[in-house]
Amino acid sequence: MSRVLVTTQGPVIRAWEIIKVSTRPPYRQDASMGKKTLAALATTCHAFHDPALDILWFEQEDFSALLKCTPSDLWNESKLQSDSTRLTLRFRRSMLPEDWTKFLRYASRVRVLHVGVPFLIPKVTPRFVELTEVDIQVFRCLSLYRPSGVLLPNLRRLHWHYPRDQIFPYIHLFLHSSLSGLDLLGVVGISEEEETLFLRRLVTAVPTLVRLLNACTVSVMGLRQICRMRHLRDITLSLSSLSATDLALLAGLSSLTRLSIRAQQYQDITGQRLSSLCSEPFVALRHLTADGLNLESCSALLRWISSSHLQELVFDIDPTAPVSTAPVSTISFEGFIDAVVQSCSHTSLSLQITESVPAPTFPELRIQATSLRPLLAFTNLATVVIDPPIFIVMDNSILKEMALAWPDIEMLLIGLERRSLPVQEYGVTLQGLIPLAEHYPRLKGLGVVLHATAEIDEEEPANGISASSVDSLQFARSTIAPGRVMEVAAYLSALFPKLGHRGLSAWDDESAERLDVEVAEEMDDCEIRDAWREVRRAYPVFAMVREQERRRQQK
C-alpha cells in the first residue's frame, strides 16, 4: 500500500477542498491556486491526479499546448519572418498512430477551447503574452490522420478566432453532437453560399447547440438556418439586413433567453407588421440587445414583446436611421419610456439606452427628466445608462427621487450630452450629488451633466457624507466657474474619496480637444475645459491628504 507524507497539511487540505468544489458543474479554475500548484497536486497521489488535471485542462487558450503533448520529434516552433515576436508551430513529418496516445489522454479533459487567439492577458500580471500560431499544414494533418471518433470528445464550448478563410473549413475537427457553445470571431473572406452551407451543416452536426456568437455579417439565408436550431438559448448576431419577417422567425425560438442583434439595415419594423406575423413572440426572452434601430422601431419592438419579463435591455439607438412617421422627438421618447415600462420586469432590470451614431443635438431636441419618472417603479435597478439622441434636462430634485427609488444602483449615467448648452439648462449642482452618495451604497460609476458653480461649505463640503464605493465619475460638458477649481476638487475628494486612476472625466472628447484651434466664439468653452483639467489634476492631491487625515484619526 502506497503512502504519502504531507508535512504541511493546511495548504494541501485547502487545495483538495478547492478541487472538490471546482470539479462540480459549472467547472472553474481557481486563480489563487495557480497551475504549478495543480500540477504538483496531480503528481502527489492518485486521489489528486484526475481532479487536478481536469481543472488544468478544463479551458485552453492556446491550442498549441495540446499539440505539444505529441512526441517532440513531430513538431517544432519557429519565428515568423514577417514578425519576430510570433512563433508558429509546424509538423516535421506525417503523423503515426502512436503519436496520438498522450494527446487523446489530455484532449478528453478539455471543455473550453480557444483556437487562433493571437495573445493572452493573464489576470495576475496584466500584460500581453504572445501565443503560438498553429500552421494550416497542422490542421491538414489532424484532418487526415486523426483516429476514428471525435478529436475533443468532451468539448462544450469552442471560441474560433482564426480570421483566415483558408483555415475555416477545418473547424469541423472540433464540432460534435455534444458541443453547446460556438463563438465565431473574426472569420472573413467566406462567401454567402459557404456561410449558409456551414450553418446548414451545423444544424445536423450540433443539434443541441444552445449558444451561438457570430461576429461575421450573417445573410438572410444564414439567419434562416440559425432559426432551425431549436435549442438555442443565447444568440449574438451581426446581420446585413433584418426584416420583420426574419425577426418573427427568431421570435419563434421557444428556448431563446438572450438575444443580441445588430443589423446594417432594418426593414418594416413596425408594431402592426410584427403583430401580424407572430402573436406570442419571444416567450422565454429575458435579455435583449439591439443596435442601430431608431427610437420608433425600439418602441414597436418592446410593445410587440410586451411580456414584462425582460431583465436586461440594451438599445444603441441610431438617430439617423429612417423612420416611418417622424424624427426623434420628445413625444417619441416618452412613448419609448412607456414601452419599457410595459415590457420589462419590475423586479429585476438592467437598462442601457445609448446613441450609436453621435450627432449634434439641437436646442429644441430636449426633454425634462420628469419623463423618466415611470422608471422609478423599477425598484431593483442595478444599472441605468440613459444617453439617447435627445438632451435630458436634469435637476437635483429628480436625482433625489432616483436615489430614493433605486437603492441597489451600481451604475448610473444619465444624459451625458456632448454639446454645451446655456447655463440655465444645467439643473444639477454639486449638492445634488449628496443624495446619490447617501442612498447608493453599491454605486461604482456615476455620470451626469452638472453646474459646478454653487456655494460650497469649506468646513464640511459634503455634510460629512462620502461614497467610497464610487471609482468613476463622468461629467461630460459640465459647467464650472474657473475661479472655483480648487473648491470643486476638494468637494469631489470629500464626497467620492476613492476614484480610480483616470476615474474623473469631463470635457475629454475629441471635440473638446479641438476647441483651442476653433473660432473665437468658443473661448468660454476653452476656459471651462481647462478648468476641469485643473480639477482632474488637483483631485488626487486632495484625496491623498484626506486619506492621510483619516488614518491619523484612526490611530
Q: Which three cell numbers stand for residue 238?
A: 451581426
Q: Which helix (H) or strand (E) holds 89?
A: strand 87-91
Q: Is the residue at 329 inside a domain?
A: no
pLDDT band, residue 68 (cuts 50/70/90): very high
> What is the model's pTM?
0.83
Q: Is the residue at 47 inside a domain?
A: yes
From 42, 58, 74, the end of a domain falls on 58
- What pLDDT was estimated at residue 45? 62
Contact 103, 66 (CB under 8 A): yes
Cα–Cα separations (whole angstroms), residue 545 to 226, 538, 549? 58, 11, 6
Q: Is the residue at 334 inside a domain?
A: no
- Looking at the structure of the chain, the number of domains it has is 2
pLDDT greater at residue 320 or residue 435: 435
pLDDT greater at residue 73 or residue 365: 73
Lowest model confidence (mean pLDDT) among 124-128, 349-353, 472-476: 124-128
Cα–Cα separations (whole angstroms), residue 120 to 38, 80, 285? 20, 18, 33
Task: Identify whether 26 is preceded by a cis peptide bond (ω within 30 of 0).
Answer: yes
Closest CA to 535 of 499, 24, 513: 499
Q: What are φ and ψ of residue 424, in 5° steps?
A: -65, -15
Per-residue pLDDT, averaged over 386-414, amounts to 90
Q: Give, as one character, the DSSP assignment of residue 433.
A: G
pLDDT at 338 over 60: yes
Residue 437, C-beta contacts closer than 8 angstroms, at least 6 positions apart: 443, 462, 465, 466, 467, 470, 495, 496
Three-state helix/strand/coil letters over 178-217: CCCEEEECCCCCCCHHHHHHHHHHHHHHCCCCCEEEEEEE
How far apart CA 45 and CA 54 sit, in angstroms, is 15
Closest CA to 509 of 361, 358, 364, 356: 358
pLDDT band, residue 43 (cuts 50/70/90): low
Reported as a single tens digit per residue, the pLDDT across 490-523 is: 999 999 999 987 899 998 877 777 776 555 455 6
Q: Which three cell numbers stand for residue 19?
A: 478541487
- What pLDDT was estimated at residue 234? 97
Q: Is the residue at 484 inside a domain?
A: yes
Contact 183, 138 (CB under 8 A): no
pLDDT at 340 over 80: yes
Reported as a single tens digit per residue, the pLDDT across 275-288 is: 999 989 999 999 99
- What pLDDT was estimated at residue 358? 55
Per-residue pLDDT, averaged over 526-550, amounts to 90
Q: Is the residue at 409 inside a domain?
A: yes
The parent domain of residue 42 ranges over 30-58
pLDDT at 71 over 90: yes
Kindly provide the residue ranges of all beta strands, DSSP E only, lying in 112-156, ordered along the sequence.
112-115, 119-120, 129-130, 133-134
pLDDT band, residue 426 (cuts 50/70/90): confident
Lowest model confidence (mean pLDDT) among 118-132, 403-417, 421-435: 118-132
pLDDT at 166 over 60: yes
From 12, 41, 58, the end of a domain falls on 58
Per-residue pLDDT, averaged over 469-492, amounts to 90
Compute the CA torsion angle 343, 345, 346, 347 (nearest 10 deg).
180
- What pLDDT was estimated at residue 41? 56
Q: Is the residue at 221 inside a domain?
A: no
Closest CA to 492 of 427, 522, 529, 537: 537
Residue 424, C-beta contacts closer than 8 angstroms, at least 6 positions apart: none
Q: Give, as one character, the DSSP assignment of residue 150.
A: -
pLDDT at 26 over 50: no
From 19, 41, 58, the end of a domain falls on 58
Closest CA to 255 of 289, 232, 222: 232
Q: Is the residue at 35 inside a domain?
A: yes
Q: Is the residue at 528 inside a domain?
A: yes
